[in-house]
Structures are given as C-alpha cells and as structure tokens.
Structure 1
Amino acid sequence: MSSDAPDRILIVEDEDNIALALSHVLKREGMEVSRATDGEAGLKAIRDTRPDLVLLDVMLPTMSGYEVCQAVRADRELAGIKILIMTARGNAMEQRKGLALGADGFIAKPFDLSKLLERTRALLAGEAESSNA
C-alpha cells in the first residue's frame, strides 16, 4: 500500500453509539472506515476487505471478538492485519487472553477517544503495544 492511500480501519462493534463515535474520529483523521455489527460479519469483512487495522469488540452477537481474533490469526493470508481489542471487561486476565490469542493491543471501555486514536496510530505505524490498558 502506498503512503498516499488512507489507512483502512474496520470497526467490529454492535453498539451504534460507540461505532459512530469511533467512525467520526477516524474519518476526521483521514482514515477509510467500515463497520460490521457482529462477529461473523466482522470475520467476513476482514477476509473480503483486508483492512490495515480492526477495532474489535469482545462481546458480539454470533461470534465473540476472541473467536474472530483467533480465526484471523489462524489464517496466514490475514497475518499482517493489526487487531486492537476493545472490551468493557478490562481486567488483566481478559487482557492476557486477548494478547495470547494474537491481538496486537487491548483497550478497556470506556476509553478516551484521543487515547484510542493514539493507539490506532501507533499500531498502524508498527509500534509495539504496551501492556498497560
């Protein structure tokens, strides 16, 4: 992908208010944003569109975010896609689980949109995610 092309972000989130806020902030930063509202649709969108980064909620209809993350990491063709897990269950055990399944980062809800944007930029730039949420 050329440096002129916008970063492609897929938001997999079933709560409209969260997805709309994320979409607004990311589009304002010049990113191309798409959305899926459940796990199965999210996995299909990942396979079909190959986004640069997936903002992935854990508690989703049809398939959990952890299951989506695991399926993406099991597919070699999707290996370069970054995954940032978002969850209301922000305890250390949940964070370790997400990272063990191959997520590149983890952020606990509720989160500050500027902090999420900062983490998004860092992951897109290839910077390692710190272990603190």
Structure 2
Amino acid sequence: MATVLAVDDSPSIRQMIKIVLGPAGHTVIEAEDGAQGLAKAKAEAINLVITDLNMPVMNGIEMIKQLRTVPSCAGVPILFLSTESDETIKQQAKSAGATGWITKPFKPEQLLAVVAKLIRA
C-alpha cells in the first residue's frame, strides 16, 4: 500500500489519520509542522501528503509550494485537511499545488475513499 505523510500540529488529528489509514494497509509518517513535513518528504519515499493549513514554523500552503519544487515530490498528491472552508484559502491551496481538500472534522470513510482515489490516480 502507500506511505502517507501526515502533517498537522494536532497530535489527535495525526493519531486519527493513523487509526483510519493503518488498518487499510498504509504506513503513516507524522510531522508536527510544515518545516518538519518538508524535511521528512525529502528524506523518505512518500505516496501522499495530508496537511493542515494553520501550523507553527511553516503553514500548509508554504509547505506545499516548497514541496512542489522538490523533484521527488513534484507529482505526489497533496490532500489539504483543514477546518478552513473559505474559497479564497481553497484557491490558494490549489494554486500552491494541493490535489484535494477535506474539511475537519472528517469522516473516516471519506478520508479512506479520497486517499484510495488519489493513490490510484
């Protein structure tokens, strides 16, 4: 299955992603902020990134912009997972290179379905 990088400053959200994706056969690597996520994405072969927007050190949009300049991450799908549902922010995320968007709180089956679709794509 896939290696998924979960980038969120909330330990409970990272744990939820692990609880949902682990039993489906995915390996979940965790990062607490965008800078840590960027470093882990450069260091490990990943198939998907799930990131929050509002985080310390580096926010999700900035991390996406930088990830898209890393050759090994250029084609990796990035799923934005945020409490934000503002169209302007969604557009900023899309412009930065985000592939999809899920609003928190998320339903486990919704996350599984989107992850399965993005990994197959």
Aligned to 1:85, what secondary structure does the other structure show?
Answer: strand
Moved over 6 A (4+): none
Consecutive unaligned residues of structure 1, counting only runs of 5 or more, are: 1-5, 127-133
- CA distance in 2 between counterparts of 1:56 and 1:109 reads 11
Q: Does 1:85 align with 2:80?
A: yes
Greater shift in the superposed pair: 106-115 or 55-64: 106-115
Counterpart in 2 of 1:116?
111
Could you list the per-position Cα deviations for residues 1-57 of structure 1 after superposition, in whole angstroms to 9, with x for gaps in the alignment?
xxxxx2100100111111101101101000111100111110000000131000011
- CA distance in 2 between counterparts of 1:41 and 1:19 reads 14
Counterpart in 1 of 2:18?
23
Q: What is the correspondence of 1:1-133 to structure 2 with a 5 Å cutoff?
A: 6-126=1-121
Relative to the length of structure 2, the TM-score reads 0.95
* Structure with greater Cα Rg: 1
Could you list the per-position Cα deviations for residues 102-126 of structure 1 after superposition, in whole angstroms to 9, with x for gaps in the alignment?
1111111122121111111110011
- Aligned 8 A contact 1:50 1:81 in 2: no
Aligned to 1:21, what secondary structure does the other structure show?
Answer: helix
- CA distance in 1 between counterparts of 2:45 and 2:89 reads 26
Cα RMSD of the aligned pairs, angstroms, is 1.0
- CA distance in 2 between counterparts of 1:65 and 1:29 reads 25
Relative to the length of structure 1, the TM-score reads 0.86
Consecutive unaligned residues of structure 2, counting only runs of 5 or more, are: none
Q: Which has the higher contact order (CA 8 A, sep 6+)?
A: 2
- Aligned 8 A contact 2:42 2:70 in 1: no
Aligned to 2:20, what secondary structure does the other structure show?
Answer: helix
Give the % identical residues.
29
Letter in 2 for 1:76: P
